[in-house]
Amino acid sequence: MSVKVSIVIPTFNRKESLKKTLESLFNQTYPKDKYEIIVCDDDKSTDGTEGMVKELMKNSPCKIRYFKVKSKYKGPSSARNAGIENARGEIIGFTDDDCIVSPNWIEKALSHFCSMEICGVRGITVPIARKKELKGLKKLFYIVDTQDTREFLGQYDYYPTCNIFYRKEQLKENGGFDPRLYALEDADIAWRLLEKGHKITFSKDVLVYHETRYISLLKYLKSLKKHELLALFIRKHPGFREKLVLRCIASKANLYPIFILFAASSYVIGSSIFFNVFTVVAILLYLWARVITDTNIKMYPLRILAFIRYFLIDFISLFYTIKGAIRYRCFII
C-alpha cells in the first residue's frame, strides 16, 4: 500500500521525550504500511537525536525518515515546512517532540477527511501530570510549561500544531508555515486556510498528551520576546483585534487591559479626570486578576509575593508587544 499519512515532528535537543513520542506512534491502530513518520531535527541539535532516531529506524514497525533542517529563522516553522516538502502522504499530521499520541490518534483523525470540504482536523491536548508538584516558594520561581486545550475548545484562533492534521495540498498552496513566526505560526496557517474558505473541524476523539515541565522564571521572562510577533500576526490578520477585545471581556477578571487603553487615550486627549478614574479602575482590576483570583497559589501571603512575579511578566510582555507594534507598524487594538 502507498503511504496515506505523514506525521511531521520538529525537534531540537529533546532526545528522551522524542523517543517516547515515536514509541507512541509505533503503537497506532492505523495500518503501519499506510503512514510514515518524518523527524525534522534542527541542525544545531547536539544531544544525539540523530543517532537515537537512526537506531530506532532499524526495528521500527513503520517508516521513519530523518532530516537535518538548517534555517536562518528560529522556531519550528522551517522544520515543519521541510516535513511538508518531503511528505509522501496526502494527509499530514503534526505533533511535537514532548507529546504522546493516543493509540487511535491517526485512525480517529482520518475518519473526518471523508469530505473534500474538510482540510484540517484538530483534537484535544491534555497535560501529563507530574508525580511531584511544586509547593510553597518554589511556585514563585518556576512556571508550568504544558498544553491544555480543553479550555480553548471552540475558539476560532486556537489551532496548536501539537495535535492537528491538514491536507498537504492545501498547506502547499498556502505556502506552508511562515518562518518569520516562531510563535503564533500555528494560528497563522489556520487563519490563512480559513480565510480561503477551507474548513477545519474539531474532534474530541483525536487525543494527545503533553509533557508537563517547570521552567525557571528567568528563562520564561526571556521567552516573552515572542510577544513582538503579535503585531505581525495582526498585520496579516486584522480580524484578530476583535478576538483580543472579546477575550478580555469574556475573562471578566482580565478586563484591566481595556481600562489601561482607556486611561492612555484619556491622557492623550488631555482629560485628567477620566485618566485618573480609568487608572484606578485598571489597578483594581489588575489586583483582582493577579492576587484575589489566583487560585494556583492558595496562601494569600504567597499570592501577594506572586504579584511581583506577575507584574514582571506583564510589564515585559507589554514592552515586547509595543516594540513589535512599532517594528511592524501595526496597532494591536
* Domains defined along the chain, listed by start: 5-211 (3.90.550.10), 240-327 (no CATH)
Going by C-alpha positions, the residue among 99, 87, 88 that lies closest to residue 123 is 99
The pLDDT value recorded for residue 141 is 87
Could you give the CA distance from residue 105 to residue 124 in angstroms, rounded to a whole number? 11
The pLDDT value recorded for residue 296 is 65
CA 28 to chain centre: 24
pTM listed for this prediction:
0.89
Residue pair 46/14 in contact (Cβ under 8 Å)? The answer is no
Q: What is the mean pLDDT, run by run of 10 residues, along the chain of 333 residues?
A: 91 95 97 96 91 94 95 90 96 97 97 92 92 76 86 70 97 95 94 94 94 93 95 93 71 71 84 90 83 67 78 89 92 78
The pLDDT value recorded for residue 97 is 96
The pLDDT value recorded for residue 284 is 87
The pLDDT value recorded for residue 252 is 56
Beta strands in the chain (DSSP E): 5-11, 35-42, 63-69, 91-94, 99-101, 118-127, 142-145, 164-167, 199-210, 213-216
CB half-sphere exposure, 17, CA atoms < 13 A? 19
Residue pair 91/165 in contact (Cβ under 8 Å)? The answer is yes
Q: What are phi and psi of 21, to 5 degrees?
A: -60, -50
Going by C-alpha positions, the residue among 216, 213, 210 that lies closest to residue 97 is 210
DSSP states along 44-58: T--SSHHHHHHHHHT
Q: Which residues contact 81 (CB under 8 A, 6 or more apart)?
A: 176, 177, 179
Could you give the CA distance from residue 36 to residue 30 in angstroms, rounded to a whole number? 11
The pLDDT value recorded for residue 158 is 80
Q: Are strands 213-216 and 142-145 parallel, antiparallel or unpaired?
A: antiparallel
